Structure 1
């Protein structure tokens, strides 16, 4: 007679030993790792506790009653990362291609609920071919419950999606609900529709990677926050992201000890802005000089490059960074930049990260492409995200802050907590040239043709002398101060400490109606 403990051990070993060695070998030959290997690589050694290891499929059609599906194609459980409790799941491509059946979807839904109740971060490895056709309609039920639970958790706990293989349909949709998405450079792919159903792929005009590969999602669709070259790099990225985020929305982000004093010499900031107002410079250099050394983690680096976003630490405090990038489109806001920044600001607000903005924006990008594409609605998202955010909001105007774009970028009128400008700051309705062409168009037209450029230049200079500096705004109290650039780091660190206990009352309502 077999003892119960031996029976348990035997059953566990049978599940852990994949019944389809041929499929497992194909997964390895494709360059991918197995589900449990991914989880083991992420969690502290020996900390993983698997949940629902004995769950299998419930389908009887299409010969499914003859098939064994260990864990129904997904491994779920909890463990620790550097001592922090997390919940984790990984789709198992060696079992029905990681496709979602009823039990598969319900397993993920269950682990999501456990993460919500325990208020711990959730990390999901997505690597599956959508819904399992063999399961029929019940697969939709499992998928629906899974998606519902993921939506319920949004903004409550950090959710990180890691895509190291093809994720199609529902799997891709679910990965899109994450706060941060990390895609494998070579094998990470996301498709709403199967590549086999995509006309351009069928006609061989494009290969699948061009439709849903990591490079495309990192530069065009805005889905991939980060791109990893290997499992090890993806794991490092997950660990790094968690260093900036709290366990849940009711906690504060972890402080990071460092040897970078808040009053260190930042005198290089005094010479970073070019003398000519239309010459570009790299906003990243300013950001990296201000924040703690090596702490800036940029997201969406190759998407909407006219705005820079990412996590950082200032004096050990985790913050979200938003900065216009004068090197691309002169730092103008367009549709993609507005959406990119708005989404990030709302993530920071959900998880109590102060938002630090470095502003140099000449306006919204003009043109029919932007107008027809809905720049009004998308630009309003950015303004809405800043106005809605209740975390500390600190803004540094490095150069231009013009018109509606100035208003959308955490101005004092949107209840920003600290607004300062460098002496090079220009806060105005628009640039001097554009303003003069509107205000003085008749005067310029009345001048002799040979004198028009001289008259225009004189009027532009007069306008600049009157409005082209930060002091008009400072006199009205729309700037709290005009500061020497070298003091920016210290000023921000002091303000973060001052507003650490900020609480902002919101009027009771079901929810706001952000212009999606």
Structure 2
């Protein structure tokens, strides 16, 4: 007995209809705008022939507002699993050619099913967001669907990496799902993300705004801080997903994909000595330091356009994956302010969740002063850095390059905040405050009586640095591990990392700490 050919033909026809999504005309219209289809995005991400779709034939059962007459292939979303560079990944891709990728009960059910698969398989989740929002015809069922998705975003948080790619509209409640994920990538054009659009804002407030002002990739990457990466186009977005995954473990029970060198030789890099300015008051571009420390100078910077006074990102040092946090003194003198504290704390917690060692490069004169910062809650936001570092149990290596003053010294992972190794360059200054400020407080009377107050201040400041701010003072008191030649930093950090990969640190049992949000 052979299989009825009609059944095979019917199956192929149904499959072809699914692959066509909203039809050739809608697909052609998207291509004209430079947009990919939902399936093209998945095909670009996964290795050929490895993607297996699930729930392909699932579809709405709504019988209201004319929906009973509508055929929505796949209910506007494609979900499944496949391999990316040999590693299992779960994904879903919303199909704007089918009912504008709107979310209804079955659409949400499909997304939740692949999220549950990601949890069971211990696989990262990648989400291509391109949707007109809630399917109005389905009413509260659509809201319930969003709630299920949000709930599972939170269940997956800290368990498997979650990466959202915004490559079309992402409006209203839909924007909260990517906000609950670990990383957001957004394309420069054709993509918008907002809670309330220009029309609603104008009707409620009377203020006319553009779509770019409220929802563009440029705004979200540089002003709101919602977006971590801006992609030139969809191909670039997929490349960023792959690069991100190359640094992340599949789940929180695994180590990141380290490729440690079998031997680590003590090699000096004179470029590091040349980077340091002769005067401590002059800014130093920390990107030059990072470039010398990491393998082949390759550094995947996260949040590159936001809060530039702190730099964060992923790299490898002698093959070992690390998260780098560095003060950038060329921007706001490298001070910590509200935005940079949020940016740094979030990155630290992401690395800790996925077992990624932290390397901190310190050059910080303090927290940003000003009434705006105080009224904006710098105490609360700055405390996030303290909380994030103190609660992190991954290997933590700190290099104090130059300034490390006051509470900001502690906020950049000092020994007291749990650093396993603290190196200091001879140029390091570790003190309650800068020498000039300290002299004005401690020797105000002497300066007033001096024949040349400026010269006297410089003399006293030099003495203060030598007696109180020198790295050797901290080393003598056991606060730092060693004072090192900057040229040896890469080798010594690599050796320390290699030894710390087996680190295990237990904390008191509790539900979770109460971070100052």
Q: TM-score range by the shorter chain?
A: over 0.9
Q: CA deviation at 1:163?
A: 0.9
Q: CA deviation at 1:69?
A: 1.0
Q: CA deviation at 1:380?
A: 0.3
Q: Which of 343, 348, 353 does residue 345 from structure 1 map onto? A: 348
Range with greater deviation from structure 2 (168-177 or 426-435): 168-177
Does 2:302 match 1:299? yes
> 4+ residue stretches of structure 1 with deviation over 6 A?
200-204, 257-261
Cross-structure match for 1:126 = 129
Cross-structure match for 1:234 = 237
Q: Superposition pairs for residues 425-440 of structure 1, below 5 Å?
A: 425-440=428-443
Q: CA deviation at 1:281?
A: 1.4
Cross-structure match for 1:243 = 246
Cα distance in 2 for partners of 1:150, 1:107 equals 14
Q: CA deviation at 1:17?
A: 2.1
Q: Which of 427, 440, 453 does residue 424 from structure 1 map onto? A: 427
Partner SS for 2:369: coil
Partner SS for 1:117: helix
2:56–2:78 contact (8 Å) kept in structure 1: yes
Does 2:455 match 1:457? no
TM-aligned CA distance change 1:165 to 1:437, over 3 Å:
same
Cross-structure match for 2:365 = 362
Alpha-carbon deviations, 1:465-513, whole Å to 9, x = none? 2123211100011000000001111111111111111010110111100
Cα distance in 2 for partners of 1:58, 1:273 equals 67
Q: CA deviation at 1:166?
A: 1.6
Cα distance in 1 for partners of 2:365, 2:297 equals 29
Cross-structure match for 2:413 = 410
What's the TM-score once normalised by structure 1's chain length? 0.96
Q: CA deviation at 1:204?
A: 8.2
Cα distance in 2 for partners of 1:165, 1:17 equals 19
2:264–2:494 contact (8 Å) kept in structure 1: no
Q: Which of 163, 184, 188 does residue 187 from structure 2 map onto? A: 184
Q: Superposition pairs for residues 83-162 of structure 1, below 5 Å?
A: 83-162=86-165
Range with greater deviation from structure 2 (163-172 or 67-76): 163-172
Cα distance in 1 for partners of 2:301, 2:508 equals 34
Aligned length: 514
Range with greater deviation from structure 2 (216-225 or 264-273): 264-273
Cross-structure match for 2:326 = 323
Q: Which of 41, 44, 62 does residue 44 from structure 2 map onto? A: 41
Range with greater deviation from structure 2 (235-244 or 359-368): 235-244
Q: CA deviation at 1:285?
A: 0.5
TM-aligned CA distance change 1:264 to 1:99, over 3 Å:
farther
Q: CA deviation at 1:207?
A: 2.1
Where do 5+ consecutive residues of structure 2 fail to align? Answer: none
Cross-structure match for 2:486 = 485
Range with greater deviation from structure 2 (83-92 or 162-171): 162-171
Alpha-carbon deviations, 1:266-310, whole Å to 9, x = none? 111112111111101110000110111132111111110000100
1:129–1:169 contact (8 Å) kept in structure 2: no
TM-aligned CA distance change 1:201 to 1:310, over 3 Å:
farther
TM-aligned CA distance change 1:403 to 1:329, over 3 Å:
same
2:197–2:211 contact (8 Å) kept in structure 1: no
TM-aligned CA distance change 1:204 to 1:38, over 3 Å:
farther
Range with greater deviation from structure 2 (4-13 or 214-223): 4-13
TM-aligned CA distance change 1:198 to 1:259, over 3 Å:
farther
TM-aligned CA distance change 1:31 to 1:365, over 3 Å:
same
Cross-structure match for 1:213 = 216
2:123–2:250 contact (8 Å) kept in structure 1: yes
Cα distance in 2 for partners of 1:259, 1:71 equals 49
Range with greater deviation from structure 2 (199-208 or 144-153): 199-208
1:20–1:94 contact (8 Å) kept in structure 2: yes
TM-aligned CA distance change 1:98 to 1:203, over 3 Å:
farther
Q: CA deviation at 1:375?
A: 0.4
Does 2:517 match 1:511? no
Cα distance in 2 for partners of 1:262, 1:335 equals 40
Q: CA deviation at 1:13?
A: 1.6
Cα distance in 1 for partners of 2:446, 2:498 equals 52
Q: CA deviation at 1:99?
A: 1.6
TM-aligned CA distance change 1:177 to 1:503, over 3 Å:
same
1:200–1:206 contact (8 Å) kept in structure 2: no
Cα distance in 1 for partners of 2:228, 2:402 equals 28
TM-aligned CA distance change 1:365 to 1:200, over 3 Å:
farther
Cα distance in 2 for partners of 1:405, 1:463 equals 19
Alpha-carbon deviations, 1:297-351, whole Å to 9, x = none? 1111111000010000001000000000010111100011000010000000000
Cα distance in 2 for partners of 1:492, 1:342 equals 22
Partner SS for 2:374: helix
Cross-structure match for 2:168 = 165
Partner SS for 2:453: helix
Cα distance in 1 for partners of 2:468, 2:261 equals 41
2:322–2:357 contact (8 Å) kept in structure 1: yes
What's the TM-score once normalised by structure 2's chain length? 0.96
Cross-structure match for 1:500 = 501
TM-aligned CA distance change 1:262 to 1:211, over 3 Å:
farther
